[in-house]
Structure 1
Amino acid sequence: MQQISVFSPPMDLGPAGPPQGRTAPPVQRGRVDVRELAERVSRVWHAEHMPDGIRVPVRVVASLAQLADIPGTGAALGALAPEMLWRLLERVWAVRWIEQPELATWAAPLHDWLMIQPSMEQARSVATVTYAALDAGLLRLTGAQDAQVRREADPLGAVLTTLRSKGARLANAEEHTPSEVAELLARLMLGRDPLASGSLCEPTAGTGGLFRAAASEAAWSGRDVHAFEWAMNDVDPLAAASCASNAFTWDLGPNVLVGCADVLLTPDWPSTARKERAQIRARHAREVADARALASMRLLMAGPAPTAGQASPASDRRV
């Protein structure tokens, strides 16, 4: 049986069949070069000449980043037919919604597209981007069991920056902070702070690269990353959604706020995000309670399970 894990019980994809995508596993283990990864994704996507701009490859990378790098994951993904791969990516976010609904909701621009029935061309293009990201080593970074390894870099930010044209970045005043600069800023921000926790706010967060470095620095200094409040905002919906996706990848914990607002017009966006989070969690609790009640009702209606000594008429006929 093929199994793929989303940092929780593995997904059962059914019996392994003959390879339908490609069978080569990702490249050998080693430190992942996120710039090379982003360039690979960009090259294969532009070669596809799809009309959806940069959104789809960014969404594919964000979805793959939710998977754990357990033995056989790369080969299992590579063997999936494009339509099955599409359904798997949809299920990834369903699992994330169960785990932390506010982040999955804020990340909706990265996964709401998966609800449609894809054309053969769309499914094939998504599979092509998937294979490129796997071959470049995405899961070795984003799927590592050690959260500190996952905090080494921001591949989603690198992909978004690489795919976006220079003109678009200038128009949006968008600039990806280099990892080295983010790490220096994080050390300056946290290095002399005696507090074990606190509230960190970034109104122009991009994809959250500064908080990646801050979480890594906090963990290395012995602080509990989950004790911090991480408030991230960006006016670009794709970047804001990437903050939510990265909050899963970097294991920022339960105290994350994500906004998508123009801070000049909405300076109190953290309060809005807190209200949204409370509403999302309340709705999640109601839906989980309803699902449990329905499951209990179905179990009662099914009646007691037959004992080992009881045989059904059908099984009698097969003997």
Structure 2
Amino acid sequence: MQLDLFAALQDDDTPTPTPPPAPALAPATFRRSAATPHTEPRTTVSPAAQTTHTAAPRALPTGKVNDPAQYAFNLGEAVANTWHKNHGGTRIEIPIGIVASLALIGQKDKKGPDLKAQILAQNDQELWAMYREIWATNWRHRPDLVERARILHEWANEEKQTRHELYVVRAVTKTVLDKGLLDLTGHADPYLRARADVLSPTLTMMRSTGATKGLGEYHTPPPVAEAMAIATLSTLSADSIMDGKKLAPGQSFLDPAAGTGGMMRAAAQNIREQGLDPAAFRWAMVDIDPIAAACAAVNAMVWALGPRVTVACADSLANPRAVEDAHEEARAAFEHRDRILGQLQMVAAVRRAQQFLEKTVGVAA
């Protein structure tokens, strides 16, 4: 069965993003104590799909999602319950990775076959392979962010799975879809996809209270994050106006204790509401927790923050060059991607030449 999982990635004529330039981090910095990092745990879109949004009022979808934040919270709670009830074990990166993977896909044709039904119609091995394919497809476009999110998907590359692992992955997948993840993330418009951070509640729920406190990790309520983002952007705009300028593309945003990126989500939404495109700005997120940083990388794709995103996994107090280091890692990831794709193209060209030669020789004979 062929699933329309990668609607936003199927246009091969879309230019592939280049590594983001090293961001200038002075403007609009969101600051919190690195000792108590913020934690807020769709569809990856091609650069052509990252269109500028007008400030006109948006027609929000009607239906189940009246409170996106509460909807996301309920989803995270259900995922945790399913995982623990089925004795999923300590590898919490698997259920979080399932939510992240499904957030990166979308329905190509809303009038076509139901995506949820297509996914669940696969057998266990096909379902596992689907997760592997989701990340391989996104790697073509954003190898840097997929590499940063490695902890959330390396399990999908394991060649052998136990019957219990297959069972639990299916159970969590069904819960995620039954609880309506696609109602939150299955939209073509990134403004609608970014109405909630679906990964934050899942990460919070999957961790025990002790583990969360030990990491100094606390969930910032979305309304608070939105208020802080609006206040920061308002201050930036006021300062810019005093200098004869306005909030403009090319400016940079840094969160040195980003968690899963909730502050950046709020800022991006506010930027869209001002009639600008977040993809035209620079974004840098740092978090000491590998899973939180991985979630931030996924969210950067889901929310269409654009090609100028850098996500670092580091202690921003101990390493003030965390963003610069992450930028160099991103450049290396793009270079590695280009080498691999170049080798594949060469192999494909050789095979076509061999087929042509064999056909020609066959005709001559």
Residue in 2 that maps onto 1:314: none
Q: Superposition pairs for residues 164-183 of structure 1, below 5 Å? A: 164-183=207-226
- 2:310 alignment partner, SS class: strand
Give 2:96's aligned amino acid.
V
Q: 1:165-216: per-residue Cα shift (whole Å, max 9, x none)?
A: 2221111110111111111111112235222131111111111111011111
Residue in 2 that maps onto 1:17: none
> Aligned-residue CA RMSD in angstroms?
2.0
Query: CA separation of 1:29/1:88 partners in 2, compared to 1, >3 Å: closer, same or farther?
Result: farther
Give 1:297's aligned amino acid.
V
Residue in 1 that maps onto 2:22: none
TM-score of the superposed pair, with normalisation by structure 2? 0.76
- 1:232 alignment partner, SS class: strand
Aligned partners of 1:283, 1:49: CA distance in 2, in Å?
38
Aligned partners of 1:42, 1:279: CA distance in 2, in Å?
35
Aligned partners of 2:141, 2:96: CA distance in 1, in Å?
22
Out of 126, 148, 161, the residue aligned to residue 204 of structure 2 is 161
Residue in 2 that maps onto 1:152: 195
Quote the offset at 1:54 in angstroms.
2.1
- 1:267 alignment partner, SS class: coil
Residue in 2 that maps onto 1:195: 247
Out of 266, 278, 287, the residue aligned to residue 331 of structure 2 is 278
Give 1:274's aligned amino acid.
H
Give 1:145's aligned amino acid.
A
| 1:245 is aligned to 2:279 | no
Quote the offset at 1:304 in angstroms.
6.8
Residue in 2 that maps onto 1:48: 86
Does the CA-based 8 Å contact 1:196-1:224 persist in structure 2?
no
Aligned partners of 2:210, 2:152: CA distance in 1, in Å?
23
Give the gaps of 5 or more residues in structure 1: 11-27, 312-319
Does the CA-based 8 Å contact 2:260-2:296 persist in structure 1?
yes
Query: CA separation of 1:225/1:304 partners in 2, compared to 1, >3 Å: closer, same or farther?
Result: farther
Query: CA separation of 1:305/1:156 partners in 2, compared to 1, >3 Å: closer, same or farther?
Result: farther
Residue in 2 that maps onto 1:185: 228
Quote the offset at 1:221 in angstroms.
0.6
Q: 1:238-294: per-residue Cα shift (whole Å, max 9, x none)?
A: 101111111111011111111111122212101101111111111211221221111
Identity %: 36
Aligned partners of 2:346, 2:317: CA distance in 1, in Å?
46
| 1:224 is aligned to 2:225 | no
TM-score of the superposed pair, with normalisation by structure 1? 0.87
Residue in 1 that maps onto 2:57: none
Aligned partners of 2:308, 2:348: CA distance in 1, in Å?
31
Runs of 4+ in 1 over 4 A off after TM superposition: 304-307
Give 1:142's aligned amino acid.
T
Residue in 2 that maps onto 1:69: 107
Q: How many pairs were matched up?
A: 292
Does the CA-based 8 Å contact 1:65-1:249 persist in structure 2?
yes
Aligned partners of 2:174, 2:106: CA distance in 1, in Å?
16
| 1:30 is aligned to 2:30 | no
Aligned partners of 2:338, 2:91: CA distance in 1, in Å?
36
Quote the offset at 1:49 in angstroms.
1.1
Does the CA-based 8 Å contact 2:79-2:176 persist in structure 1?
yes
Aligned partners of 2:86, 2:63: CA distance in 1, in Å?
28
- 1:4 alignment partner, SS class: coil
Q: 1:16-50: per-residue Cα shift (whole Å, max 9, x none)?
A: xxxxxxxxxxxx95215111111111111110112
Give 1:93's aligned amino acid.
W
Aligned partners of 1:226, 1:284: CA distance in 2, in Å?
22
Does the CA-based 8 Å contact 2:94-2:153 persist in structure 1?
no
Does the CA-based 8 Å contact 1:69-1:140 persist in structure 2?
no
The answer to which of 283-292 and 80-89 deviates more is 283-292
Does the CA-based 8 Å contact 1:200-1:230 persist in structure 2?
yes
Give the gaps of 5 or more residues in structure 2: 12-61, 238-245
- 1:230 alignment partner, SS class: strand
Aligned partners of 1:5, 1:87: CA distance in 2, in Å?
13
